[in-house]
Every structure is written in C-alpha cells, then in structure tokens.
Structure 1
C-alpha cells in the first residue's frame, strides 16, 4: 500500500498542488479506513515538495518514488521509498524518514529515544533502521533479491541538531544510516555528491513493471529471521515445557502435520485457567514452526501489553512474527500459515464486526490460515466487546468444514503450582453459594485489613529484590495525563486506630513508552515488569496476561458480598463500556475480573475490599496478614 507512486520528475509536477493533497487524503481514507489528521496533512504540504526538490537536485528525476509506503503486518508507514537498480543490477529500495525538526532533546540515559516538545519518539536513525531490517527479513530473499538502504532527511535541522543526533547513532546499529540536515541537502560540490549522501549515487531507473513486482511480492519471514527466532526461543528456559504443556504442543504439531498433508484447514483450541502455561506453549510452538520448511507462522494476541512483553523477550527482530490482533488480519497470512492466537478470549467481537453469531474478522483469519491454534480461558472474558467460547469455535469449525481438536490444560504453573489455590479462587468467584475457607499451605494467601498493609507488604518484597504489584477493580476515575506526574486517583478512606485516614495512589501510566524525565514510571505495557511499577496501581487491562511474584488485590465497590451471593453494582464502575450494563450482565464480568486479578501472583496474594461487609466475609475465609 502507498499513497502516491511515480517517478521523481512526475511527482514534482503535482506535490505542490492542493488538488494533489485532496486526492491523497481521499486515498488515505480509502486505504486506511480513516481520514488523515490535520497534523499529518500539514506535514505532507511542508515536506513532500522539499524532498522532491532535493531528489531532483541530486539528479534522481527518473527514479521511482513511493510516498507513505505501508509495511504490511506492522502498521508502520515509510515516509518515502525510492526504487531503482543498483550498480550490480539488483532492485534497490531506499527508505527515507522525513522530519521537520529544528530542535530536539537527547538524553545520554536513553540514546535510542528523542524528545520533541512533549513527545518522546524513537531516534530517526533507529526508526529507518527498523524499516530496512523489516524489508530485509520479510521481502528480500533468493527468489526476489533486493538491496535495501535507509536515510534520515531533516530538511529544516541546523548543524548543531544534526551533530547531536549523529553522536549516539555512531556507536550503535543506527550508525549505518545517514542523518542529513539542512546544510547536507544542497547539491554541493555536485549533484552526484548529494546523491551519494542520500545513498542513491548508483541508482538507475526501473520500469513500472519492476515497481509492481516489488509491490506484489509476498511478505513472509525470511529463513534467517525464522532461524534466529527459533534459536532465541530454544535458548530460553522460560519457554521449556513440562507435563501437559508438552502434550498440548505435540497435539498441535500433529494437527499441523495432518492439516498440511490433507490440504484442509484446521482449528485447534487449547483451554486452561490462569497459569497453566498457554503463552509459554504458544512461544514454544512459534519456535517449532520457525524451523519447518517454508514456514510462515504468526503469534498474535488481542493484548498489546502481552505482545510487547513477548516481543521484548524473544527480541525486536521478531516484529511481524509477533503482533497484536485487533480489527485487521495481518498481511502475509496465507494458506501456508499457522497462526497462534494467544488470549483468544479477548478477541474483539464488536457488533459491527459480526454477521450472525461469529466475529467476521476472526472468521476471516480462520479462513485464511492453514491452521489456527487458539489459547482460551472463557472465565477471563471481562468486557462485552470480548467473548469467544470453545463451543462457538467447535460450531464454526463444523460449519466451515475444518478439522477440530481440543486440548485442556489442568496443571497449574503459577500461584506456586498450587492447584488448591486455583480451585479456591474459582470457587470464591462463583455467582452464589458458600465459598470454602482457605486451608492450603502451598501458597501464601492472606487477608489485608487496610490498604496501607497492602502497600507495606508490596514494599517489603520490592526491598527484598522480588517483584510485587498492586491491582484494583476499575472503580476510580482515570483522568491522569498520559505523561507523569500521575494523579493519585485510587483513593480509599479507611479507619485506623489513630482515626480516619485516606490512602491514595495513581493508576499505572497510559503511555506506551516510558518517558525520559520519569524513568521510574514504566509505560503501560511494562508496568508489571519494569522498576517503579509497584508505585502505581494496575487495572485488569494492564495486569491480564502478566504475572509477578507477589500480588496485592483491591476489590472495589462494584462487586460486594451479601449472604451467600455476590452482588454486582455497575454504577460503581468507571469503565464506560461496563457501567451502563444491567447488574445481572455486569456480574459475570466483575467475577471474571477479580478472578484474573487474584491469579497474577506466582508466590503470594493479599486481598482487601473497600466494602466493609465484603471485608468481614473475606476475613471468615482467609487468615489475616501478619508481619
């Protein structure tokens, strides 16, 4: 996908016209399903004519130019991509990252990041390096050899800013990509010298047939990418399988082989509660599939937090292989692909994405792939916009003529391996009926009398070098800005022996990246793992799919105990999608939410309720916390 394609000379005739901008805006809306922002359109107006003038000054009129080229399966767009033929006669792509910066702040503590006003962004040389790496790993291969280069063009940047940006790049992999500023972009001492600085000195023109061939080429992972991912996964003890986990893996591999041999499609569902190892199995299978001939696997998840964490563990080279699945099917999935969909219970089932009973986008994904393996826990469905079930998948497979297999995981690998604790939690968060008293001695569970006890318990473990976090139901407003300082919005009044007190802490950050100025406030995807996360309160959307050693849970007023049943009070929720639900519908989501929160700790959990009656009830089931 791209917004404009033509030679540099052809682009020069149009890029300055408002009619051209209007045409590109219409194409953007058609291609990406939404209108471009006003800021983006302003950027086009300022940068495109300047870039085209620079390329013409370098004598590159006959080279092909693609503006806003979209890298399939990533959601990323390259500002400009030049296509020509290199000195050896191979097709050559030069990715150009355009910036209008005149100033920026760089911190020696985070050399890969740059702050522009209030935004923190990736260093542009790293950014263009990522584009080059993607094209090397997903497009260039034996049957389609492609030379790939990258250049950063900051056409308004003064020399001092360019020097600052070049300094960190020189000492890392981004040093392979030129960073050019205002003084580097004139044809001095010659047009050929400018072309050399741009990385285009040897480019000769190609015909539109070659451009179309590049645009049509199937994007699939290269053997080198697959081999590297396999080696990383195989070398990590965290992805080792035991017991039923390995049995599930073998069943999936058997289904993959059978589906490929018979040529029909297959759905495999792996079910299991929290901590049974679904994500570990998914990662292990990705490593297995990466070593198969003509492999084209994907590991997807509806959770951006889980995607970022797994990709960080496996390595950023796995980008594209490991991706977030929301409203669109990643490009490059074909009838040779095996798709591993972790946390499938969180797959979106918005009404406008459905026709009948089965979500359309997910149905299209199942139809496109050769084999789809879905990792599922129905009791982790926490929103009305989610909700995939085993029965739905079985019926869909039957109606579609797909093979179907189901593996259920029983063994518990979180919560200290305590099956007793998992049963106790499942029993506690049933809608009604008496819950059992906790009698187990293989998991550290206790009742907290007040929020300060929770905080002290967490702080004690942090001081001991262990991971510990606090979570809460979504019962407090969340209006903090995306960048620190965060507001202490989780506010709980309580009575101490010395009199009334108020305990208050902020929710976790909304930002996707940790900021320069507040390294102790981790970005949302890394709240559960990075230093400083214990100082904020996580919610269900941040904690789901994660784990840490010690787990403090605050139950809010949206779920209270009265007699032998739980009562839902959706009006106490601050989630706009949930608070308008009738109480009988809200109840199961609330029960599932607190069940998930209560199963994040691998070593121990403390539970506290802001409702006095519920506190009294919990105290009858759990021994009190003692220091």
Structure 2
C-alpha cells in the first residue's frame, strides 16, 4: 500500500477509513451511477454538508473506486468509462493531483478545473460518463471571460457533457457573486433530471464541542453574539485575544511544536492583485497578505507562509492544526445590543461583488453581499482541528468577546 504522509493528502487519501454512514453513501452513489449510465439522459446526485462534514473524503474514495473499476475490472459496469474529478480551486486541485501521482488507478489528467474540461471536450467534440465535482459551491454561475468561461453556468454545461454528475455543496461557502448559489438555485437545475440528495451533518474536522460549533454558526448565520458554552474548551484549544500580535506569537509557537498552524483573516484590509505586498496592521501586529502560490505545494503547507496572513482563497477546503483568526473591519457589533452588523463599505475584496445581469434588486444584492462576508468568516472558523484563536478589529466586538470568554469561566491568554 502506498504511504501517505503529507497532511492534506492524508485527509483526502482513498486509504482513509470511512464511517459506516460514509461507506453506505459511497455505495449508494456507485449504485445510482451504474444504473443511470444505462439511460439516455443525464442524472445528478447531490451531497449537502457544512464545512468539515467529510464531503471531500467521500468523493476521494468514490472516485478512486470508480477509476479502479474503469481501468482494472472487466466485470464492472464502469469498465472503460471516461470519468473526471472537477474542483474550481487551484490549491485543492494540487492536493488531488499529488494523490494521483502515487496511485496506479488515478492519473493526474483525471483531475481538472471545470472550465478547462468544458473547453477541452468542446474542442474534441466529446462527452464523458461521470463527472464528480468537489466544492460545487465554487462553480461559476455567470460568464467569466477572464477565465475563458463563455457560457452562463458551469453546472449546466457539465451536465450537458456527462451521463452522471455527482456534486458536494455547502451554501455557507458561497463567497463570490460570480459563483452565486443557493439550495434553490441549485435544485432548479438538478431537479430537471433524475436526481438524489443526501445530507451530511456530523462534524469531523474540528475536535471542538458541538456547542462551540453551534456558537460559530450563530455568530455568522444569525449575526448574533450568544454566551460562550462552558464546553468551548473541552478537548479543544479555543481562545479570545485582546492583542493580535500576542495571538500571532502563540500561533508561531504552535506551528513550531506541531506544524500547520497559520494566521487567517477576513477581508477589510488593503489588498490588490498587483504582485506587491499589502499589510494587515492591528496595533503592534503587522503581516502581509498571502502571496499567489506558483508552487505545486498548497499554501498552508509552505513553511514560509507562517509569515503571511491566509485568506479564504488559500485556506478554503484545508485542515489546519491551529488557526489565529482576525475578524476584520467589515464585521462589527451594534452598540447596546448583542447583534452584529456587516459594513459593506469596509470590504476590500472587490472581486467578490462583481455585478450580475440577473440581479437588479438593490436590497437583495445587499443581503447577498452581507451573507457572503459572513460565509467567509464561517469558512475561517472551521479550519482549526485542535484550536481556534480569535481577535476582532472592532473595539466593541473585541471587548464583548473577551467578556464572553471570561464569563464562561475562562482566563484571557497572558503574555509569555
């Protein structure tokens, strides 16, 4: 058996043992796929699940079994089928291709970004049998000429070119207008075909208590601060910081001790795709944003990125051991309430909110933009396997978070 050592690769390895529920789901998808390969019309299978519920692990094993049968088992209904694994995230694609380089049944060319595959198939006038799509909430739902996508919707175009399409979807990881999805928008497409759905609910990534995960969700989904559960630190290193530099130093220590620990932040600080460095400053804290990663190694696993601040674009889909999260200027507390507000004028990720021809209602656009900002924070909240540290830019929010922490019976971190 091939040795899997890299942490990101290990997480998505086809050798990872599945739970009985996950095993049942993989078998159900394979049965569904085998049945619908015989039909003259496409079919879709959607797996719903929040961040950390094991969606990618399931797809990795599913695709490995599919390709092993396609290439090695002459008695299988999948023998000699043409199948692709798609993900619209360059950092995650690197991990899948690294896995493919170690296993005989998987080829690196089996893994692609959606636009590349669509354009290649059109050029060759070909179709495929099965498309498996990880992080389907990142699929483009409008044309993007900069990335050579000239159709209206990537999912629609993939379904046109495949007999069966299997996707995983998380509505709380929708982060850009060009990839605007809701369950309703998704089902408007998938319900046109024979389809099946499955909902994953168990959190696998974080060792955090269910009560702390719920607290994170209430923060981002309901825009509300609630008392911290007394279980917030049960078997999990959860901390609130009043000083961003103190938090950074703690993350550096964690990284030296066990590795894969990083500082992350929401938008709200200077950031321009001009090749230069742009810094996040919070008191005595000063660090540059993540730089574009031209290597084959994911950003989070490059040793030098301990000296950068990660964004949703470099950490989405990845596990980190410890995270130090900066809640930036766009998110603040409404004075004299326990409610949060999103300040769109302080959001600096201008690429996220490009206009869409199919959206004209200003109030709806505002709601969606605020939702995406909170989604980005939810993504950050759920990266840390063993610990999550928080610091808020807004002074009132920072003060309240510290109060909630001490009222739950915990002590604020001290300088070492």
| TM-score where L is the length of structure 2 | 0.81
Q: Which residue of 2 aligns with 1:547?
A: 319
Q: CA deviation at 1:612?
A: 0.3
Does residue 452 in structure 1 map to residue 245 in structure 2? yes
Q: Which residue of 2 aligns with 1:306?
A: 92
Q: Which residue of 1 aligns with 2:187?
A: 394
Contact 1:507 1:538 (C-alpha < 8 Å) held by counterparts: yes
Q: Which residue of 2 aligns with 1:290?
A: 67
Q: Which residue of 2 aligns with 1:614?
A: 397
Q: 1:602 to 1:243 in 2, by over 3 A?
A: farther
What are the Cα deviations for residues 528-587 of structure 1, in whole angstroms up to 9, with x where unaligned? 112122111011111111111001100110111212322111221211134789754432
Q: Which residue of 2 aligns with 1:280?
A: 57
Q: Which residue of 2 aligns with 1:202?
A: none
Does residue 348 in structure 1 map to residue 163 in structure 2? no
Q: Which residue of 2 aligns with 1:507?
A: 289
Q: Which residue of 1 aligns with 2:341?
A: 567
Number of equivalent positions? 368
Q: 1:352 to 1:594 in 2, by over 3 A?
A: closer
Q: 1:238 to 1:381 in 2, by over 3 A?
A: farther
Q: CA deviation at 1:433?
A: 4.3
Q: Which residue of 1 aligns with 2:19?
A: 242
Q: Name which of 418, 422, 440 aligns with 2:213.
A: 422
Q: Which residue of 1 aligns with 2:32?
A: 255
Q: Which residue of 1 aligns with 2:382?
A: 599
Contact 1:570 1:579 (C-alpha < 8 Å) held by counterparts: no
Determine which structure has more spread, i.e. the larger CA radius of gyration: 1
Query: 1 CA distance for matches of 2:157 and 2:39?
Result: 21
What are the Cα deviations for residues 231-268 of structure 1, in whole angstroms up to 9, with x where unaligned? x99x9476332143223212211210221244442100
Q: CA deviation at 1:417?
A: 6.2
Contact 2:14 2:61 (C-alpha < 8 Å) held by counterparts: no
Q: Which residue of 1 aligns with 2:413?
A: 625
Q: CA deviation at 1:297?
A: 1.5
Q: Which residue of 2 aligns with 1:490?
A: 280
Q: Which residue of 1 aligns with 2:306?
A: 534
What are the Cα deviations for residues 132-166 of structure 1, in whole angstroms up to 9, with x where unaligned? xxxxxxxxxxxxxxxxxxxxxxxxxxxxxxxxxxx
Q: Which residue of 2 aligns with 1:478?
A: 271
| TM-score where L is the length of structure 1 | 0.55
Contact 1:244 1:410 (C-alpha < 8 Å) held by counterparts: no
Q: Which residue of 2 aligns with 1:201?
A: none
5 Å-filtered alignment, 1:122-201, equals none
Unpaired runs of 5+ residues, structure 1, are 1-231, 494-501, 514-522
SS in 1 for 2:207: helix
Q: Which residue of 2 aligns with 1:437?
A: 228
Q: Which residue of 2 aligns with 1:167?
A: none
Q: CA deviation at 1:391?
A: 2.8
My pick for the range that moved more, 238-247 or 594-603, is 238-247
Q: CA deviation at 1:427?
A: 1.4
Aligned-CA RMSD value = 2.8
Does residue 373 in structure 1 map to residue 147 in structure 2? no
Query: 2 CA distance for matches of 1:585 and 1:336?
Result: 35
Q: 1:418 to 1:431 in 2, by over 3 A?
A: closer
Query: 1 CA distance for matches of 2:256 and 2:198?
Result: 41
SS in 1 for 2:91: helix
Query: 1 CA distance for matches of 2:243 and 2:20?
Result: 40
Query: 1 CA distance for matches of 2:186 and 2:278?
Result: 42
Query: 2 CA distance for matches of 1:510 and 1:236?
Result: 26
Higher relative contact order (CA 8 A, sep 6+): 2
Q: 1:299 to 1:419 in 2, by over 3 A?
A: farther
5 Å-filtered alignment, 1:297-336, equals 297-315=83-101, 318-326=107-115, 329=118, 331-332=120-121, 336=128
